Structure 1
Amino acid sequence: MTLFRQIYSLLFGLFLLVVASLGYVQFTETQSFLTKQMESDLNNTSNSLGIMLIPDLEAGDIVGAETLINVIFEGGYYQQVKLTWLVDGKQQVWENPINIQGVPQWFIDLDFFETIKKQSTITSGWIQLAQLEITAHPGFGYHELWRTMTNAVIVFSVLFLIAIVCARVGLTWILRPLHEIAEHAKDIAQRKFGPDMKIPNTMELKSVVLAFNSMSDQLKQIFNSLDEEVGELRKKNLIDQVSGLPNRQYMMGRLSSWLNEPKSGALVMAKFDWLEEVHSKYGYEVRDETIKLLSEKMKEHLDVITTSVIARISAYEFAFLISSAEREQTSKYLQTLIRTINQEMSKAGCKPNENFSIGIAERIGQMSVSDILAQTDNALQKAIKEDKIFHWFETNEKQLFTREQWREHLSNAINNRQFKFKWQPVHLNDGDSITQRELYCQLEIGDKTVHAGQFMPYVELLSLGALLDKCLIETLSTQKLLERNDEPIAINLTFHSLSDPKFHEWLNGFLRASSLSERICFDIPEAGVYSDPDSCEALCTIIRDNGAHFGIDHFGRQFGSMSYLQTLRPSYVKLDQSFAYYDESEHSSELCRALINVARGLDIQVIVTGIEEKKQLERFVPLKTSAYMGYIHPPVEVKEI
C-alpha cells in the first residue's frame, strides 16, 4: 500500500471514529433528554389533572371527569390513562394504540424508551377519592429521536464527505514532492537523468529532494564523463591528428565490418605526391594545413554524393570506403573527388591533374579484407605506373542481375514469401545458454541461392526495405518461429523502415495482435539513430509500449555522443564487428572498455559481434560484456514445418 493510502486510511479511520463518537454522544444525550422530558410532562399532567378532577370526583360526576380526561388524552402524548374510583371500585381506562408515523418499525423495535408510568391518589382533604395512573406514549420520543438522529447523520455525512475530499486534495498537495521523489528515484534507477526537482517547503522533504538532486547530478556527470572519455579515446586512437579524419586502424575495422554485412560499394585509394611538393616549398606546417583543408573539402563535397568513410592511412595516402553505391554513383563520386583535389592543388600553387593517382576496386561477391585491399592497391599501382589519374580494377566477375531484374526478383520474393531463413545464436558469456537468435534470410532464384550480402544493397537502393521487413516479421507468425524456441528472435530493420511512418503504424498493429511480442527483438543500426533520431525514438516507443525489445546494432561505429542511449533506452547493444578485429594494444582496449562501460552504466546488455575464435572472445572477458555472437557459432538453417 502506498504512503498516500496509508495516511489517507488513517485520517479516514480517525475521522470515522470521531464522527461515530459524536454520533453516540448525540444519541445518548438526546435519548436521555427525551426520557426526562416525557417524565416531566407526565408528572405535570398527573398533578394538574388530579387537581382538576377533585370537584367532579367529590360530586360523583362521572361525565365531567371523563370530559376532562378526554381533553388531555386526545392530545396523543399518553398511551393509557386509568382512573379507579375508590368509593365503589369502578375503573375507567383510556388507551391509545402505539402507532408512530414517520418512523421505521425497525427503529421502534429497538426499544430505546422504557415504559414510563405515573400513579397518583386524588384526595380531598383526608378523603381518598380515586387513583389516577397515566402511561406516557413513546411515539413522541421515537419521533423526536429519529428526526434528531436523521438530521445528525445527514450533517455528519456532508461534513464527512467534505473532510474526505479536503483530506485527499490536501494530502495530494502535501505529498506531491514525495511522489516526485519516488518518480525521480525510479528514473535514476533506470539511469534516466532529468532536470532537478523543485525544492519543497516541507523541511523533512527538502533535505531529501536536495540529496536526490545532488545524486542525480553526480550520476549525470559520471555518464557525461564516460561519454567524453569515449570521444577522447576515439580521437586518440582512431583519428588522424593532422587531417581530423579516421586513421588506418579505423579504416581496417570498418572494412572488416563492411565485408561481413550485406552491402555493396567500392574501395578507393589515392596517393597525393603533390603534398610532398608543398612540403618542400613551404615546410611541414603549410603541408599539414593543406592536408587539413583538403580533408574538410573532401568531406564537404563527397558526403553529398553518397555515404562514405574517408581516412588518412599514411602520410600522403587516403582511403575512401563507399559503403553502398552502384558503379554509376561511384563514378560520380570519383569525378567529384578529382575535381576537389584539383581545386585544392591550384590553391596550393600546384598544377592540376599531376602528382596524384587513384585506384578503385568494386565489391563484387564474397570478398575478404585482403582481397579488396589487394585489388585496390593493384589499381593504384597501375595508375601510378601508367601515369594516369585513376584506374578501375577490372574483374571478370559480373553482377548477377541488372537493377530492373533485381527489382522484379525481389518484388516477387517479397510478395510470394520465397525467402529461406537461418538464425544465429547469441550465447551468454557465463555458459552455453542462448539469450537470443538473430534471423537471416536468403533467396532462391532459379537454381541459384542468393545470400543477403548480394541482394540487400538492392533492397535499400530500390526502397524495398519496409516491404522486406514486413515480410520477415510476418514470417514469425506464419512459420511459428516464436513457438519453436524460448529464446527471443532478433530482426535487423532496414534504414527505410526506421523513417517510414506507415511501417511504424503497421508494426504497432502487428505487435498488439501478437501474443508473443515479448519474444521479438529489433536491431536498429546506430547510423540510423544518428541520421533520423526523431523517427527512431518514435519507433522505439512503439516497440517498448507493445512489450517487444530492441537493441542498437553496430554500436560504437559512429563518431558521436552516446547520449542517445539515455533517450532510447535499448535492452541491449551489439558492439560493432570492427572491435573484434582491432589489434590488442592498450589503446584499443581502453576505447572498447569505455564504450562498454557507457552501456553497462545504463544497465544495457552488451553483445560482442564478429567473434570467430576463442582467442578473440578471451580479449573481451575482462571487459565484462554480457554475450557474444559470430561464426564461432555459425548460423543454422531454419527448417520449415
Structure 2
Amino acid sequence: MTLFKEIVAVIILTFCINLMGVLWLQFDSTKEYLTNQLESDLENMSSSLTIAVAPHLESGDNVMIDATLNAYFDGGYYKKISVTKFDTNEIITKEMEVAVDGVPQWFLDLEILSPPFIENEVTSGWYQVGKIKVVGHPGFAYKQLWTSFVQTIIWLGGLGLFVIFVCSYAINFVLRPLVRIQEKAKQIQSHYFGEPLPVPTTKELRDVTVAVNQMTDKLKEQFEEKTKLHSKLEQAAYVEPVTGFGNRNYFNRRLDAWLKESGNGILVLIQIASIEEMRKSHGWQKRDELMVVIGHYINTIFDNDETVIKTRTSERDFILIVQESDKREVELKLKQLATYFSTVEIQELFDNKNIYSAAGVKVSHKADKESIVALLDQTLIAAKESTSGVSVVEIEPNCGHIHTRTEIKEALELAISESHLSFRHQPVFLYNSIEPEHFEVFTQVHIEGFKNVTLGTFISVMNEHKLGSDFDKNIIAKAFEYAKGNESQVLALNITKSAMKNYQFIMWLCNKVKDNCESKDRIVFEFNEDSVLNDMDNVNTLCECLNELNFKYGIDRVGRNFESLSYLKSVHPDYVKVDHIYTEMVLKNDDDAYFVDSLCTTIHNLDIKVIATHVENEMQLEKLKKYNFDGYQGFVIPAKALAL
C-alpha cells in the first residue's frame, strides 16, 4: 500500500471512531430525553385514570371499568393499561403491539428503549380496592430516535466525505515532492538522470530532495566520465589524430565488415604525392596543417554524409568507403576535389605540381577483398597517368548480366508486392539462461536471375527508392499473425533504415502495435545505430509508443561509429547488439579486448543487456564470457527456416 493510501486510511479510521462516539452521545442524549417525556406523560395520565376508575372499582362495575379504560387507551398512546381488582383478583387489560411505520424492524428488535411504566393503587377511603398499571408505548420515541439517527448519519457522513476529500487533496499536495523523489529514484535505477528536482518548502522533504539532486549529479558525472573514457580509448585506437578520420586499423575492420554485410558502394583511394618532401622542407606542423585542410575539403565535398567512411591510412593516403553510391556522382566529386589542389596556397608547398590522384572501384557484384584492393591499385596507376588525376571503374561480375539499379528496383517491387519471401530465425541466448531470449528473423527475397548481385546492392536500392516501408509492413503483418498462434517464441523484427526515415511508417507501426497489444511479450523490434544517430526524432516517437504499450526493443550494430554512447540514455533500449567488429577484436587480438570491456561496462551502467554477435563456435563463446557480455548470437547456433 502506498504512503498516501496509508495516511488516508488512518484519517478515515480516526474519523469513523469519532463518528461512532458522536453518534453514541447523540443517540444516548435523544433516548434519555424521549424516555423522560414518556415518564412525565405517564404520571399525568395514571393520576387521572386512578381518579376516574376508583368509583367503578368500589362498586365492582366491570362494564364501566372497561369503558373507562377504552376511553383512555384510545385517547392516548400506550402499550398496555391494566386494572387489578383486589376483591376478586380479576385483571382487566388493554394492550397494543409495538409497530412503528417508517422504522425498520431490526431497529425495533434491538430493544434500545425500555418502555417506562407506572403503578398506582386505587383506594376507597382507607381501603385499597385495586391497582392500575400503565406502560408507555415506545413507538413515538423509536420514530424520533430513528429520524435523529438517520439525519446524524447523513450529516456526519457528508461532512466526513468532504473532510476526506479535502485531506486527500492536501496530503497529495504535501506528498508531491515525495512522489517526485520516488520517480527520480526509479529513473536513477534505470540510469536516466534528467533535470534536478524542484526543492519543496517542507524542511524534511527539502533535505531529502537536495540529497537526491546531489546524488543524481554525482552519478550522472560518473557515467559521463566513463562514457568519455570509452570514447577516448576508442579515439586513441581507431582515430587518426590530425584529421579526425579513422586510421588503418579502423579502415581494415570497416572494410571487412562492409564486404561481409553489404559490399555495395565505391572504395576510393586518394593519394597526395610528394608529401614526404613537403614535410622535410616545411616541417611537421605545416604538413599537419595541410592534412587538416585536406580533411576539411573531403568533408565539404562529401557533405559529411553518414554513409561515407573516411580514413587516413598513411602519411599520403586517404581511403573512403562510399556506401550506396553512384559511380558517376563519386567521379564528379573526386574531380571537384582536385580543384582544391590547384590553388596557389597548396601548389607553392610542393615542387611537383601533380600532387593529387584519386581512384575508385565500384562494387555492386560479389567479389573478394583481394580482387577489389588489387583493382584499386591498378586504377590509381591509371589515374596518375590521366589528365584529370581521377579514375573510377566498376568491378565486373564473374559471370552473368550486369543489372542496372532500375532493373533491381523493379524486381524488388515485384517480389515485395507478391510476397516472394522466405524466412529464417536465429536464437539469441543469455549466458545465464538455457531458453532463448528471442529469435531474430532474417528475410530472403527470391528474385530469379539476380544471383550475382550482392545483398548490399539490394539494400542500397531499397533505401534509395524508399521500398523499406512496404518491405517491413509485409513482414510485420506476417509476424503478428504468426505470434497469435505461437506463444512459445519471441520474434525480433529488424526495421530497415529507409523505413525509420519515414514518419508515416512510424505512425503505421504505432497503430499496428496498439491493435496487437496481446503480442507484446512475443514481438520485439530492432533498429540499427545509424537510425538512432540520424533519425532521432522518429526513433524517439517509436520508442515512446513501444514503451507505452510495453513492447521491448533493441539497437543493432552499436559501437560501429565514433559517436558517444550518450544517446542510450534517451533511447534506453532493453538490449543492444554490439557490432561484430568488437567480437572480432576480442577473438583476434587480446590487446584490443579492453575496448570491448570498456564498451560493455559503459552500456551496463545504463542497465541495458549487451549481446555479442557473429559468434561462430564454442571456443569463441567461452572467450567472450570474460568481457561482460550478457548474451550471444551467431553461427554457433545457426538459423533455421521459419514459416511466417
TM-score bracket, normalised by the shorter chain, equals 0.7 to 0.9
CA distance in 2, matches of 1:360, 1:639: 40
Deviations 1:596-634 (A, max 9, x none): 112111121212224456666566432111233344555
- Give the counterpart letter for 1:468 in structure 2: F
1:407-556 equivalence runs, <5 A: 407-429=409-431, 434-446=436-448, 449=451, 452-476=455-479, 480=482, 486-514=488-516, 515-556=518-559
- Which sits farther off after the overlay, 96-105 or 526-535? 96-105
Partner SS state of residue 342, structure 1:
coil
CA distance in 2, matches of 1:69, 1:431: 96
- Give the counterpart letter for 1:606 in structure 2: V
1:566 aligns with: 569
Partner SS state of residue 142, structure 2:
helix
Q: Give the drift of 1:68.
A: 9.7
1:136 aligns with: 136
Deviations 1:293-348 (A, max 9, x none): 22122212212678312211111111111012121222233233323443486476
CA distance in 2, matches of 1:226, 1:204: 33
CA distance in 2, matches of 1:632, 1:68: 114
Residue pair 2:500, 2:539 contacting (<8 A) in 1 also: yes
2:116 aligns with: 116
Partner SS state of residue 261, structure 2:
coil
CA distance in 2, matches of 1:313, 1:157: 84
CA distance in 2, matches of 1:592, 1:323: 26
Deviations 1:85-109 (A, max 9, x none): 8899999877667564443444334
2:603 aligns with: 599
Residue pair 1:271, 1:316 contacting (<8 A) in 2 also: yes
Residue pair 1:345, 1:352 contacting (<8 A) in 2 also: no
Distance 1:105 1:491, change over 3 A: closer
Partner SS state of residue 268, structure 1:
strand
Residue pair 1:253, 1:579 contacting (<8 A) in 2 also: no
Partner SS state of residue 421, structure 1:
strand
Q: Give the drift of 1:504.
A: 1.8
- Give the counterpart letter for 2:509 in structure 1: L
1:58-457 equivalence runs, <5 A: 76-81=76-81, 100-123=100-123, 126=126, 131-276=131-276, 278-303=278-303, 307-343=307-343, 346=346, 354-384=354-384, 389-393=389-393, 395-397=395-397, 400-429=402-431, 434-446=436-448, 449=451, 452-457=455-460
Q: Give the drift of 1:358.
A: 1.5
Q: Give the drift of 1:409.
A: 0.7
Partner of residue 588 from structure 1, selected from 582, 589, 592? 592
Q: Give the drift of 1:211.
A: 3.8
TM-score by length of 1: 0.87
CA distance in 2, matches of 1:600, 1:536: 21
Residue pair 2:359, 2:376 contacting (<8 A) in 1 also: yes
Distance 1:623 1:342, change over 3 A: farther
- Give the counterpart letter for 1:499 in structure 2: K
Deviations 1:114-156 (A, max 9, x none): 3433222355764657654433222232222222222222222
Q: Give the drift of 1:180.
A: 2.5
Distance 1:431 1:256, change over 3 A: farther
CA distance in 1, matches of 2:461, 2:247: 30
Distance 1:378 1:176, change over 3 A: same
Q: Give the drift of 1:289.
A: 1.1
- Which sits farther off after the overlay, 417-426 or 223-232? 417-426
Deviations 1:546-587 (A, max 9, x none): 443321112112222212111111122121233344486677
Deviations 1:36-88 (A, max 9, x none): 33223322443466578889999999999999989976653434555678899
- Which sits farther off after the overlay, 115-124 or 222-231? 115-124
Residue pair 2:269, 2:376 contacting (<8 A) in 1 also: yes
Q: Give the drift of 1:498.
A: 0.8
Deviations 1:385-414 (A, max 9, x none): 678612334643276421221122111100
Partner SS state of residue 299, structure 1:
helix
Partner SS state of residue 322, structure 1:
strand
CA distance in 1, matches of 2:295, 2:2: 61
- Which sits farther off after the overlay, 385-394 or 207-216? 385-394
Distance 1:448 1:12, change over 3 A: same
Q: Give the drift of 1:166.
A: 2.8
- Give the counterpart letter for 1:172 in structure 2: N
Distance 1:72 1:353, change over 3 A: farther
- Which sits farther off after the overlay, 256-265 or 220-229? 256-265
Distance 1:241 1:136, change over 3 A: same
Distance 1:141 1:358, change over 3 A: same
Residue pair 1:426, 1:435 contacting (<8 A) in 2 also: yes
Partner SS state of residue 521, structure 2:
helix
- Which sits farther off after the overlay, 410-419 or 70-79? 70-79
CA distance in 2, matches of 1:613, 1:203: 61
TM-score by length of 2: 0.87
CA distance in 2, matches of 1:306, 1:221: 29
CA distance in 1, matches of 2:551, 2:90: 100
- Give the counterpart letter for 1:403 in structure 2: R
Residue pair 1:498, 1:539 contacting (<8 A) in 2 also: no
- Give the counterpart letter for 1:600 in structure 2: H
CA distance in 2, matches of 1:427, 1:158: 60
CA distance in 2, matches of 1:52, 1:578: 121
Residue pair 1:256, 1:577 contacting (<8 A) in 2 also: no
Partner SS state of residue 502, structure 1:
helix
2:15 aligns with: 15
CA distance in 1, matches of 2:221, 2:157: 55
- Which sits farther off after the overlay, 60-69 or 287-296? 60-69
Structure 2 residue runs without a partner (length 5+): none
How big is the alpha-carbon RMSD for the aligned residues of Structure 1 and Structure 2?
3.8
- Give the counterpart letter for 1:113 in structure 2: L
**Number of equivalences:** 639
CA distance in 2, matches of 1:410, 1:502: 21
CA distance in 2, matches of 1:338, 1:485: 60
Residue pair 2:274, 2:352 contacting (<8 A) in 1 also: no
Percentage of matched positions with identical amino acids: 28
Partner of residue 621 from structure 1, selected from 616, 619, 625? 625
Residue pair 2:269, 2:320 contacting (<8 A) in 1 also: yes
Q: Give the drift of 1:206.
A: 4.3
Residue pair 1:294, 1:344 contacting (<8 A) in 2 also: no
Distance 1:510 1:540, change over 3 A: same
Distance 1:360 1:9, change over 3 A: same
- Give the counterpart letter for 1:444 in structure 2: H
